[in-house]
Chains A and B, each alone.
Chain A
Amino acid sequence: MDIIILAVIALLGLYMAWNIGANDVANSMADAVGSGALSVKQAVIAAGICEFAGAVLVGSHVTETIRKGIVDPAALTSLPGMLEGEPAALLVIGMSAALLSAAIWLNFATWTGMPVSTTHSIVGAVAGFGIVAAGFGSVHWGKMGQIVASWFISPFAGGLMAFIIFKIISKLILGNAKPVKAAIKITPYIVFFLAMVVTLATIYKGLKHVIKGLDWLTDTHTLLIAVAISIISTIFSRIHVKKKLIGKESLPLHAQLEQVEQVYVPLVIISSCAVAFAHGANDVANSVGPLAAVANILKTGTVEMKVPVPMWILMLGGGGIVLGLATYGYRVMATVGTKITEITPTRGVAADIAATATVLICTRMKLPVSTTHVLVGAIMGIGLARGLSGIDSRIAKKIFKSWIITVPAAAIVCIILFLLGRAFMLDFIRELVLAARAAG
């Protein structure tokens, strides 16, 4: 394969990854920065490490040729009057166009400050390609329906979960007449739940993809491992919390509450890192998936349902996310962090646990939810639990609208780019495909 072609496609993937880093990552660490647990600089470093680790270690090593199976590749090959190699060439153009248009939409969203979903951007773009290339019927509208449903499900589920978790913390610890004593008693249970969610999320999100032949890692075994890790963390936290809080029981009520919040600082750091890790694992595929698909088609000349994602591509995706974070996400992080000081460590932990757990459950149910949507929902949930002094409902509506517009906007950009690409590049790409077939 021509090195220049490869470089161009790699650049597209990098641009997409850069946008993910610039747009999304700040949100995953927002709770840690807002609660003052981490400085902006520390948060950027922690997020960079966690996103990269998530992307490279557990980012999916296998990807569908067409992202999330929104369009059936067979619909393309069965079109009448196709020349040899034309479906493959169309797919190359389509996936490249989808990647670029999702990235452009994300770039626009970042510029205007909208926390949109990277997954939904790419899905919208791919659907746009499918409609133009193979007709309306080639798009799996059932899958699209799920995405529409997720606009409502993910913020609602995240909000409900955060509401419940914060109510529990608020009722049992913050509202207790002896908050320090209550924190010593209750915190280990919260740590247990947190460790459980984080471990399960890490394993389900992709550890299975990384280490091949882990057949014994059945659901029961996974659960056992998670329980074991959680028990160990619980014991650790018990010792830590006791050491920190013992002897503070007789302080005035307000001073006690401050001490309790202090104990939750390490927890909010861990939970925010978990969100960043899961985000990296989940979202890197949006940039590297189409990239891997295109690279595979150009290498083999054939269209497969699933293609492997080589390590270098994952590294590229992870690197791109970190780059986006370092060059632009940094500024976003600074403004978010200084503006949402109302998020105390306990509120941050509640929002993060809710977000991670919701994403975990929805992923298990094969619902394409967005980390960003869930997190926004979680913040609203804490507001409903009277945990925040004020939430601007106009901004909430604005955010919601930006989610809905993401799919059609990315689709329209993709349609334009695909039509341009087909008009000018089709013959050139088809020759590349045929050359690859001859070589293979």
Chain B
Amino acid sequence: MNIIKELFSKSPFGPLVEHTKKVHECVEMLKPLMEALVNEDYDEIRKIQDKISRLEYEADTIKHSVREHLPRRYFMPVDRVDLEGFISCQDNIADKAEDFAVILTLRKTKLHPEVMDKFFDFLDQIFQVTGTLLGAAVELNNLAEVSFSGAEAKHVLDILHGLNEEEWKADRLARSLSKDVYALEKQLDPITIIFYEKMILTLGSIANEAENAGDKLRTMILK
């Protein structure tokens, strides 16, 4: 049959938006996870960890289907290296969310009431960062429609500009939370402190990866 139709390769942007959404579903599981920790409901934590694992697996499946759309011979409106970097950052976000769930299953840790509020503030700030990224990434399909230029591109770049600021706030919160944790060193056993620190680092890396993904998205648009 006619070969002209084969000249058009399948758009990777539709599946890419799917991937973004799936990754965000993983991140959304962090809140119920923390709540279960507060309630010291360790069964629930294990259940949620199962769920995140499954979501992460689904995200991986979508990721593979996106990669199938990107053989070298495809000539695309965005830089392939940036696009692949973007996918791998997103992939890391889902991985880190899963890691966080796994960490919570390792030990029956109690959350100290003194740091509880700040932990939730920090978590909310992480959501701010990933939510901002989601808001920009879901526009990829629309961006492709307007050939990555003009008002739509500016709109997405504006969103991404906000992302850096949100990540910076998350960093600051992480630092202050860490300080609070170490301030409790007289009341807590060292293992718990190490454990808290591990939680903070993992959550922080989610925000970091989200910022990296945003940077890749920006260079994709500005190609």
Most chain-A CB neighbours within 10 Å: which of B6, B77, B147, B149? B147
B150–A176 touching, CB < 8 Å? yes
Q: Which of A26, A339, A387, A391 contacts B147 (CB 8 A)?
A: A387
B12–A396 touching, CB < 8 Å? no
A175–B77 touching, CB < 8 Å? no
B73–A175 touching, CB < 8 Å? no
Q: Given the known A-B contacts A176-B151, A257-B146, are A332 and B11 also in contact in the complex, defined by CB atoms under 8 Å?
A: no
B5–A344 touching, CB < 8 Å? no
A254–B2 touching, CB < 8 Å? no
A175–B5 touching, CB < 8 Å? no
A336–B11 touching, CB < 8 Å? no
Closest Cβ of chain A to B111, distance in Å, is: 42
B12–A332 touching, CB < 8 Å? no
User: Which residue from chain B places its CB closest to the CB of A332 in the assembled complex?
Assistant: B2
Closest Cβ of chain A to B113, distance in Å, is: 45
Q: Say yes or no for A335: interface residue by CB 8 A criterion.
A: yes
B9–A113 touching, CB < 8 Å? no
Q: Given the known A-B contacts A257-B145, A394-B73, are A340 and B150 also in contact in the complex, defined by CB atoms under 8 Å?
A: no
Interface digits, A18-42 against B, CB 8 Å rule (1 contact, 0 not)? 0000000011001000000000000
Question: What is the CA–CA distance of A398 and B7 in the complex, to the nearest angstrom?
Answer: 10
Closest Cβ of chain B to A405, distance in Å, is: 14
Contacting B at CB under 8 A, from A390-439, are 390-396, 398-399
Q: Say yes or no for B153: interface residue by CB 8 A criterion.
A: yes
B74–A392 touching, CB < 8 Å? yes
Closest Cβ of chain B to A82, distance in Å, is: 45
Interface digits, A328-343 against B, CB 8 Å rule (1 contact, 0 not)? 0001100110111010
B1–A113 touching, CB < 8 Å? yes
B150–A336 touching, CB < 8 Å? no
B152–A253 touching, CB < 8 Å? yes
Question: What is the CA–CA distance of A339 and B142 in the complex, to the nearest angstrom?
Answer: 19
Task: Note all chain B residues with C-beta closer than 8 A to A112.
Answer: 3
Most chain-B CB neighbours within 10 Å: which of A179, A336, A389, A396? A389
Q: Say yes or no for A171: interface residue by CB 8 A criterion.
A: yes
Task: Note all chain B residues with C-beta closer than 8 A to A257.
Answer: 142, 145-146, 152
Task: Note all chain B residues with C-beta closer than 8 A to A27.
Answer: 2, 4
Closest Cβ of chain A to B20, distance in Å, is: 16
A177–B6 touching, CB < 8 Å? no
Segment of A141-149, A205-213, A229-237, A378-386 in the binding face: A378-386
B4–A340 touching, CB < 8 Å? yes
Total count of chain B residues near the partner, CB < 8 A:
34
User: Which residue from chain B places its CB closest to the CB of A169 in the assembled complex?
Assistant: B147
Question: What is the CA–CA distance of A171 and B149 in the complex, to the nearest angstrom?
Answer: 7
Most chain-B CB neighbours within 10 Å: which of A26, A388, A390, A391? A390
Q: Which of A113, A114, A174, A391 contacts B75 (CB 8 A)?
A: A391
Task: Note all chain B residues with C-beta closer than 8 A to A339.
Answer: 5-6, 8
Q: Given the known A-B contacts A176-B150, A257-B145, A342-B11, are A387 and B77 also in contact in the complex, defined by CB atoms under 8 Å?
A: yes
User: Which residue from chain A places its CB closest to the CB of B146 in the assembled complex?
Assistant: A174
Closest Cβ of chain A to B6, distance in Å, is: 5
Contacting B at CB under 8 A, from A347-371, are none
Most chain-A CB neighbours within 10 Å: which of B3, B5, B7? B7
Task: Note all chain A residues with C-beta closer than 8 A to B73.
Answer: 392-394
Task: Note all chain B residues with C-beta closer than 8 A to A379.
Answer: 4, 7-8
User: Which residue from chain A places its CB closest to the CB of B153 in the assembled complex?
Assistant: A175
Contacting B at CB under 8 A, from A94-147, are 112-115
User: Which residue from chain B places its CB closest to the CB of A396 in the assembled complex?
Assistant: B7
Task: Note all chain B residues with C-beta closer than 8 A to A114.
Answer: 3
Task: Note all chain A residues with C-beta closer than 8 A to B155.
Answer: 253
Q: Say yes or no for B13: interface residue by CB 8 A criterion.
A: yes
Question: What is the CA–CA distance of A71 and B123 in the complex, to the nearest angstrom?
Answer: 81
Task: Note all chain A residues with C-beta closer than 8 A to B223.
Answer: 386
User: Which residue from chain A places its CB closest to the CB of B14 in the assembled complex?
Assistant: A389
Question: What is the CA–CA distance of A175 and B147 in the complex, to the nearest angstrom?
Answer: 8
A331–B149 touching, CB < 8 Å? no
A344–B145 touching, CB < 8 Å? yes
Question: What is the CA–CA distance of A395 and B154 in the complex, to the nearest angstrom?
Answer: 34
Closest Cβ of chain A to B218, distance in Å, is: 15
B75–A390 touching, CB < 8 Å? yes
Q: Say yes or no for B108: interface residue by CB 8 A criterion.
A: no
Closest Cβ of chain B to A224, distance in Å, is: 36
Q: Say yes or no for B69: interface residue by CB 8 A criterion.
A: yes
A390–B69 touching, CB < 8 Å? yes
Task: Note all chain A residues with C-beta closer than 8 A to B152.
Answer: 174-175, 253-254, 257
User: Which residue from chain B places its CB closest to the CB of A334 in the assembled complex?
Assistant: B1
Question: What is the CA–CA distance of A249 and B7 in the complex, to the nearest angstrom?
Answer: 36
A399–B1 touching, CB < 8 Å? no
Binding site for A on B (CB under 8 A): 1-13, 69, 73-78, 142, 144-155, 223
- Counting from the closest, the 9 A-B pairs by CB-CB distance are A175-B150, A389-B11, A339-B5, A386-B77, A390-B9, A177-B151, A113-B3, A386-B147, A394-B73
Binding site for B on A (CB under 8 A): 26-27, 30, 112-115, 166, 170-171, 174-179, 253-254, 257, 331-332, 335-336, 338-340, 342, 344, 376, 379, 383, 385-396, 398-399
- Beyond A30-B4, A174-B152, 12 additional pairs, beta carbon < 8 A: A115-B4, A170-B146, A176-B151, A253-B152, A342-B8, A342-B11, A376-B7, A383-B77, A388-B77, A390-B76, A390-B77, A392-B73
Contacts A/B (CB < 8 Å), 19 sampled: A27-B2, A113-B1, A115-B4, A174-B145, A177-B150, A177-B154, A331-B1, A339-B8, A379-B4, A383-B75, A386-B223, A389-B9, A389-B13, A390-B77, A391-B8, A392-B7, A392-B9, A392-B75, A395-B6
